[in-house]
Amino acid sequence: MENCQCSHGGAALGPGVGEAAGRDLAQPSRRGFFHVCMAAMTGIAALVVAFPIFSFLRLPKRIHTAKSIEVPLAGLSESQALFFEREGTQIVLIYTNKEAKAYDAACTHLGCLVSWDQNDRVFRCPCHGAVFDDQGAAVKGPVNMPLKKVKLEINKGVLVIA
Amino acid sequence: MSAIAKLTKAVMGEVDDRFHLTPVIEKNLTRKWVPQTLSWAGCFGGLAFLIFLIQIFTGILLLMYYKSDAERAWDSVTFVKSNVPMGWLIQRIHSVGANFMIALVFLHMARVAYLRIYRKPRELHWISGAVLLLATCMLAFTGYLLPWTQLSYWGAKVGTEIPSAVPLLGEYIVQLIRRGPSISGETLGFFFAVHIWVLPGLTVLVMVLHFLMIRRTGISRPL
């Protein structure tokens, strides 16, 4: 039966027959072939199911996020701080002594958003009591890093947060 | 391939030492043979169950973006369809799947009726199946309103009008279902809660009973 090239060779490899005849194990068997085919088809089916699911869990397309923010200087007042969002970060804008300053509003301790205290002219962090002065320098609390400065440009009476 | 097979065997060996799991799996799944006389039409119930699982899965995915708020529902569904990768596909599978599930439940029921499988000892199989049919239809009906389109709004309007035919209590039942005199944001919230929790919960419960009954009596064999 070994090296049998004849047309009824398939039948010789039926269940049990090949093993009983001491079939060469290096030769692929019909059953083994079907196992590989089944595994391949199952794999392809699994990929077809998995692809849309993992795609769905990716980040969705967001429509238009502003890269720069423009504020007319005339609209600014001494008494309040303005908050803006730019590409996922919060920016705080204050106007003191006719000078505008902008900072990343994330506290340099653990990233909570600071608020502006107009009476004491300081930024206060609600989480662990950090305090920053109007220059952004750390004054009190568990921080020593100053608030991150954000660059400002003045263009024909319009303040641009780039 | 063989490495995976070896690993599986090693892990299953350890599990079997403790829980004797393989005989249970073999008895109930891998070595549970289908009766030879059963035709492919015996698959309708199982296929309906498969689609139910797909509906649960795609439903959970859609739930990540859906907002059950009259102001934002339509926008959130549109966002999934146009901005979320493959969102259009998941949303479409969920909406088309509902139609397929109803079709399969009806085919399953038609076969059971035609072959008179509902007779003793399987009367409760039939009754629990009828409950599942109603639950499936209600799932489809409540889900239809959620995208908050013109079509779903008027669909819900017509559908909730039906109980008004009930004598005396009709108008009250209609308002009870609509959570008010007309289809509004409250209707949407109510349908949403019923669609994602009440009906799936009821369906799973009755399905488990349905399957346990089938296991207990065995499936009906044609002569």
Local mean pLDDT, 10-residue blocks, chain B (223 residues): 85 94 90 84 94 97 95 95 95 97 96 93 96 97 96 95 94 95 94 97 97 90 68
Closest CA relative to residue B145, chosen from B172, B177, B169: B177
The nearest CA of chain B is from the CA of A5 a distance in Å of 29
Evaluate the CA torsion angle B155, B159, B164, B170 in order and state its sign. Answer: negative
The nearest CA of chain B is from the CA of A72 a distance in Å of 32
Q: What residues form DSSP beta bridges with A93? A: A82, A102
Answer whether B61 sits within 8 Å of A53, measured CB to CB.
yes
Q: What is the pLDDT of residue A16?
A: 47
The nearest CA of chain A is from the CA of B31 a distance in Å of 18
A64 to chain B, any CB pair closer than 8 A? The answer is no
Q: Which residues from A are below 8 Å from B1, CB to CB?
A: 36, 39
Q: CA triplet A56, A46, B60: central angle to 5 degrees?
A: 35
H helices present in chain A, as ranges: 9-12, 17-20, 30-56
Q: Which residues from B are below 8 Å from A52, CB to CB?
A: 86, 89-90
Q: What is the pLDDT of residue A1?
A: 40
What does the pLDDT look like over A70-117, one tens digit per residue?
877 777 777 678 888 877 788 898 887 778 888 999 999 999 999 999
CATH architecture of B42-217: Up-down Bundle (1.20)
Q: What ipTM describes this predicted complex?
A: 0.80
Q: Which residues from B are below 8 Å from A39, CB to CB?
A: 1
SS3 of residue B88 by DSSP: helix
Q: Which residues from A are below 8 Å from B87, CB to CB?
A: 56, 60
User: What is the distance between the alpha carbons of residues A53 and A47, in angstroms, rounded to a whole number?
Assistant: 10
Closest CA relative to residue B48, chosen from B140, B119, B175, B169: B140
A60 to chain B, any CB pair closer than 8 A? The answer is yes
B85 to chain A, any CB pair closer than 8 A? The answer is yes
**Domains of chain A, first to last:** 9-56 (no CATH), 69-161 (2.102.10.10)
Q: What is the pLDDT of residue B61?
A: 96
User: What is the distance between the alpha carbons of residues B178 and B190, in angstroms, rounded to a whole number?
Assistant: 8
- Best of A56, A57, A63 to substitute, by most chain B Cβ atoms within 10 angstroms, is A56
Residue A63 has pLDDT above 70, yes or no: no
Q: Please tell me chain B's helix, strand, coil percentages from 3-state DSSP, rounded to the nearest 5.
A: 75, 0, 25
Closest CA relative to residue B54, chosen from A48, A49, A47, A58: A49
Residue boundaries of the structural domains of chain B: 42-217
